[in-house]
Amino acid sequence: MLFCVPGKKEGEGLIPVRLVLAVQDELYIEPFMQYLHCSEFDRRIIVTGFSRQDAFEMYMKDSGELVDIVLAEPTFLEAWQGLNSGRLTVVSLCERGESASGLSLDKYQPLHQLLFSLMNMVRGDRRKQADTEVGTVVIGVHSIVGGLGKSTVSWNIAKQLASEGAKVFYLNLETVNNRLIFEGQNVREGQQGGLARLLYDLKSAEEGQQELKFPISAYACRHPLLQGDIFAPLDNLNEMLELQRKETVDLIEFIAASGLYDAVVIDTDSYPNERTEAVLERADKLVWLVTDDDNVMRKTTLWFNHLEQSRPAMHSHILCKSLFAVNRYTGEVVTSLPGSEIVFEAMLSYISAWKNGIRQATAMHSPLYQRDVQQLCRKLYGNAKVLRGGSGQR
């Protein structure tokens, strides 16, 4: 029997993962589909389900080139002749104690964890292709403790990528925006208004099941110093406070799927809220900031320990795409994350002029800090090319 849950239509901003589920028990497939449809994965995964071997094999023969991942019981995979296709991610859905070669997942686990693990596997396979294919990369900058310099770091990452010719969007999702970056700059809202208007239009388009009439460039504005795009700051804090998980994901996807940008760099709140959690889940890469301070290290460790115990799939999902950086580095790190094997991969130098309260402006023109940020960007992208040639041209 065939089951199908259609995801978001192509052209509406999100290119979902195409999944084929093959399980003999229809009573497993139906709840799987229902959960997916009601969860945050609804817009990220298109599922086609099969309970019969012959129907599964016929579909894969006719439409296999459209499939990204196959999640199937071992009996389906053992009889399937196309198992050795190197393009597909193939995952065995096993019962406890059942062994399988290659990638496998426990069949009877919370569906939220199963789907997170599945998306991690897809992300991992796609990361292997990074040397030859890089689309819009969403980079989140975060810290557990406030005041560690997230805005300075995220702004400088965006500026560094732009200086190398990348098309960049800087997205500030802090409840209270850092207005320092707008001082002395002629920055105006887009032709259709700024972020508040975009959020309204996104919601209206979804309710009317229509595509948005205007591109992201109609809402954003150009920042002369950044040489990238940005939203003018919101004057009404309620507009940011009302931005929940779903609205945040929709916003990020709309920007990333526009085809205008090589990178979207996102600045978040330190304290937990749905906006921040949406960024942690959606970002392709995360920069976690710490400083050489016992209290900062302790709080960061406690947060990760709590996440590992309460949401192990989410913990794994975050760690696999995270880079840990020490900000305000003075030449030596004397503290560490207690009981953790996490390695600090980037050091961002302390600039003495920061103590005068002009961090943003000073860091913009500090050769030492720019050097450190450039090295951080190299680690973020590894051997992959930051730019996509002319694909992001405006």
Q: Find all residues with CB under 8 Å of 298, minimum gap 6, and list them.
A: 338
Question: Which domains, and CATH codes, for the chain?
Answer: 17-129 (3.40.50.10850), 137-381 (3.40.50.300)
Q: How far apart are CA 29 and CA 50, in angstroms?
A: 8
- Note whether 243 and 173 are within 8 A (CB): yes
pLDDT tens digit sequence for 313-355: 888 888 889 999 999 999 888 888 877 767 889 999 988 766 6
Task: Retrieve residue 287's tokens.
Answer: 């920069």
Question: Cα-flanking dihedrals φ and ψ of residue 26, to 5°?
Answer: -65, -25
Phi, psi at 389, each rounded to 5°: 70, -125
CB 258 within 8 A of CB 169: no
- Interval 61-115: pLDDT, tens: 888 778 888 999 999 998 887 766 556 789 999 987 776 677 888 898 888 778 8
Greater confidence, 49 or 238? Answer: 49
Q: Report the alpha-carbon distance of residue 276 to residue 274 in Å, rounded.
A: 5
What mean pLDDT value characterizes the chain? Answer: 81
Give the helix/strand (H/E) hosting 264: strand 263-267
For residue 358, what is the DSSP state?
-
| Cβ neighbours around 133 below 10 Å, total | 10
Q: What secondary structure letter does DSSP report for 207?
A: H
- Segment 19-44 shows an average pLDDT of 86
Q: Which of 184-193, 282-291, 312-321 has the highest mean pLDDT?
A: 282-291
Question: Residue 234 in contact with residue 108, Cβ under 8 Å?
Answer: no
Torsion angles phi and psi, residue 27, rounded to 5: -70, -10
Q: In whole angstroms, what separates CA 142 from the centre of its chain?
A: 12
* pLDDT band, very low/low/confident/very high, at 176 (cuts 50, 70, 90): confident
**Can you tell me the mean pLDDT for 238-257?**
88
pLDDT at 259: 82
Please state at what angle helix 312-319 crosses helix 294-310, rounded to 10 degrees. Answer: 130
Does residue 151 sit in helix, strand or coil?
A: helix
pLDDT value at residue 10: 36
Cβ neighbourhood burial of 82 (10 Å; 0-12, 13-18, 19+): middle
Alpha-carbon distance of 101 to 96, in angstroms, equals: 15
Torsion of Cα atoms, 37 then 40 then 45 then 48, to 10°: -20
Greatest alpha-carbon pair distance for the chain in Å reads 71
> Cβ-count burial of 40 within 10 angstroms (0-12 exposed, 13-18 middle, 19+ buried)?
middle
Nearest alpha carbon to residue 123 among 259, 266, 321 = 321
Give ∠ CA 188-189-194 in degrees, rounded to 5: 155
pLDDT at 243 over 70: yes
pLDDT at 181 over 70: no
pLDDT by residue (tens digit) across 135-163?
789 999 999 999 898 988 999 999 999 99
Angstrom distance (rounded) from CA 166 to CA 34: 41
How far apart are the C-alpha atoms of 45 and 62, rounded to whole Å?
20
The residue with greater pLDDT, 44 or 299, is 299
pLDDT at 175 over 80: yes
Confidence check: pLDDT of 294 > 90: yes
